[in-house]
Structure 1
Amino acid sequence: MSNSGSTIVRGAARARRWLNEAGLPYSDEIELRPSNAQFADGGHYGVEVPVVNNFKVLESTLRLLQQEGLPVTRFNETLGAFLLSDSEVQDMLDLCRENAVGMVFALGPRPEYDRKAAFYRGGFGASQGRRVNNNDALAVSVEEALRLTEFGCRGLIAYDLGVIRLLSDLRAAGALPADLVIKASSHCIVSNPMTSRVYAENGTDNVTTTHDLGLAVLQEIRRGSPQLVMDVPTDVYGSKGGFIRFYETPELVQICSPMMLKIGASAQSHPHDPVSENTVRQRVQRVSLCLDYLAKSGIDAKYISSLSPQRCVPVQV
């Protein structure tokens, strides 16, 4: 080797120099810094519990969290609200509103349920995420958004950038509520700072980051899209790798604030698995353990304000 200096010479040096000078992400080897940002109404983090897909699971999960004295900001329904009857959707929203807890519903039809599902259930289609690939599905997604918000829902999960842009335009036009929170699913594959910027520019309020991102990438997403609330998975389903990063909770809150700690998926092997009482207990135990790591770190991290619209608490209609 001809290099005898104290540091190595990195590859892609010309690109790194240009990106660095332009203030863009250029390396994973950067100093970690706190974001020093909060939710508009105060607080650094909230707690989001996923895979709460029907009233029975919602009721039992909320009851156990309350018994354990654990905070929960909002729940996620993740299979598609079109699989739930109007009465069950209303019951779920009513329960959350009565307990000042948020509820975010997933729009349908997700492509694996749509009439072109054969494509998405094949090997190639599965690699495309959950992109909507026909005009009728766009229309149904909008119809679902109208249905859910008419029941008082104030948080929607979308799986497609085009659907998010549609929802954003409808919100701006007054067809959807001005206080509606639009959330990009992890299936949107927001895995780097430039992609997160595209989602923010098209009306996304919250983005669930790809599950396996390192701290440096998460820091650059926060720096590049300061208006986004970042929903960061702390643990994942066994079928998605099963990793648990509770030990990084203090760093995640400092780097990503304002953010949601998305806790509890590791209690299940697959998001479609039936949720038993034992699954609910394991999920709540995960919430407790994750928040213990944050509390023991001693950092000055404040829970999200009860006034924040990012909580997605349903409204009375």
Structure 2
Amino acid sequence: MEKSRALLKSLGFLEREAYDLADSIKRFPDGAQYRVEIPSVEGPEALKAVFEEADRYGITIHRVSQGSGIMLQTDDEISEMVQLCASRGVELSLFVGPRGTWDIGAQPLTPAGKAIALRHEGIDQLVYAMEDLQRANQLGVRGALVADEGLLLLTKEMKKQGLIDPNFVIKVSVQMMAANPVSIKLMQDIGADTYNVPTGLTLPKLASIRPAVDIPLDLYVEVPDGFGGFIRHYEIPEFVRILSPVYIKFGLRNHPDVYPSGKHLEQVNVALCRERVRRAYIGLQLLKQYAPDLKTSDLGAPGLAIPVPQNDF
């Protein structure tokens, strides 16, 4: 194995897993080590519930993300979310709508084909995805999730050519599935501004990723059932220490599949979002207890993809 390890080392990667769990010296632009994300915030009513609960528990939520897709929200709904997040200095990240599971092919719905579920089949699907990003950008959104390598590369060109804002933050979904330092560096190189690592990686495997990339890493500390259902709250201090800069992401185990969402599931989504914030409070209390010196960001901090309301254009 020595030649293989030597090759990795010559390319600037670790030659074995980081069992020493070294402290990360990398930080967010404001010097913070961690930020907090609430995912699956499906629409303005769910977003209002997130902010209400965050205020009630006295915690800071830096980013909210959505999964059903830009294409399944109205202009008014997106604009309201833009206004709500902008007023608090919170990042808003909406998922690109077109995807394999919304398309007519059967493979993304099969047990063996799920790995391509959110990728784009054919040129037209890439065009639709780019249109979705441009629509969000025009409505003031400055962050979006993607899960296709081709689209990720295209976002770099879209920024260069002015189709989306040059500071638009491209968040790569956990469903991209890259799970090692070399693959994740490739994601960074082709356009990822922040990367959601797989949910079940051990601490040494996670720690081996951080030296390879400079972008923030996103990590579920409570994982939806479809991605494993893990609840890793007691590991949060270690996650922050070895992965900084990192977004600590509070999903929710034991909840119904709400994708694609809409008015028919709105109250379910509101209840789920309230519980996600409650779980975030529990996790952050543990972080405060075991590692009170770890630093987080204020709202409005540099690097957050804070949306820009239309009337500010």
Q: CA deviation at 1:269?
A: 4.6
Q: Which residue of 1 aligns with 2:87?
A: 98
- C-alpha distance 17-271 of structure 1, shift in aligned 2 (>3 A): farther
**Higher alpha-carbon deviation: 228-237 or 20-29:** 20-29
Q: CA deviation at 1:129?
A: 4.2
Q: Which residue of 2 aligns with 1:313?
A: 306
Match of 2:296 among 270, 288, 303: 303
Q: Which residue of 2 aligns with 1:85?
A: 74
Q: CA deviation at 1:14?
A: 4.8
Q: Which residue of 1 aligns with 2:47?
A: 58
Q: CA deviation at 1:174?
A: 2.3
Once the two structures are superposed, the pairs formed by residues 154-169 of structure 1 within 5 Å of their partners are 154-169=142-157
Q: CA deviation at 1:28?
A: 3.0
Once the two structures are superposed, the pairs formed by residues 243-254 of structure 1 within 5 Å of their partners are 243-254=230-241
Give the aligned CA root-mean-square deviation in angstroms: 2.0
1:115 partnered with 2:104: yes
Q: Which residue of 2 aligns with 1:141?
A: 129
Q: Which residue of 2 aligns with 1:265?
A: 252
Residue deviations 1:96-126, cap 9 Å, x none?
112222210001202111233x221123321
Q: CA deviation at 1:17?
A: 5.3
Q: CA deviation at 1:133?
A: 1.4
1:34 partnered with 2:27: no
1:184 partnered with 2:184: no
Q: Which residue of 2 aligns with 1:233?
A: 220
Q: Distance in 2 between matches of 1:192 and 1:15?
A: 15
Q: What amino acid is aligned across from residue 146 of structure 1 in structure 2? A: Q
Q: Which residue of 1 aligns with 2:286?
A: 293
1:212 counterpart SS class:
coil
1:153 counterpart SS class:
coil
Q: Is the 8 A contact 1:179 1:309 kept in 2?
A: no
**Higher alpha-carbon deviation: 302-311 or 68-77:** 302-311
Q: Distance in 2 between matches of 1:17 and 1:150?
A: 48
Q: What amino acid is aligned across from residue 286 of structure 1 in structure 2? A: R
Q: Which residue of 1 aligns with 2:57?
A: 68
**Higher alpha-carbon deviation: 106-115 or 135-144:** 106-115
Q: Distance in 2 between matches of 1:206 and 1:46?
A: 12
**Higher alpha-carbon deviation: 234-243 or 81-90:** 234-243
Query: Mind listing any 5+ residue stretches in structure 1 that lack a counterpart?
Result: 1-11
2:239 counterpart SS class:
helix
1:46 partnered with 2:39: no
- C-alpha distance 95-241 of structure 1, shift in aligned 2 (>3 A): same
Structure of greater Rg = 1
Q: CA deviation at 1:307?
A: 4.7
1:281 partnered with 2:281: no
Q: CA deviation at 1:188?
A: 0.5
2:113 counterpart SS class:
helix
% identity of equivalent residues: 28
Q: Is the 8 A contact 2:197 2:219 kept in 1?
A: yes
Give TM-score scaled by structure 1 length: 0.89
- C-alpha distance 280-204 of structure 1, shift in aligned 2 (>3 A): closer
1:207 partnered with 2:210: no
Q: Distance in 2 between matches of 1:80 and 1:302?
A: 32
Give TM-score scaled by structure 2 length: 0.90
Match of 1:219 among 188, 204, 207: 207
Query: Mind listing any 5+ residue stretches in structure 2 that lack a counterpart?
Result: none
Which consecutive aligned stretches of 4+ in structure 1 deviate over 6 angstroms post-superposition? none
- C-alpha distance 175-128 of structure 1, shift in aligned 2 (>3 A): closer
Aligned length: 304
Q: Distance in 2 between matches of 1:311 and 1:159?
A: 20
Q: CA deviation at 1:268?
A: 2.3
2:226 counterpart SS class:
helix
Residue deviations 1:171-191, cap 9 Å, x none?
022221111101100010121
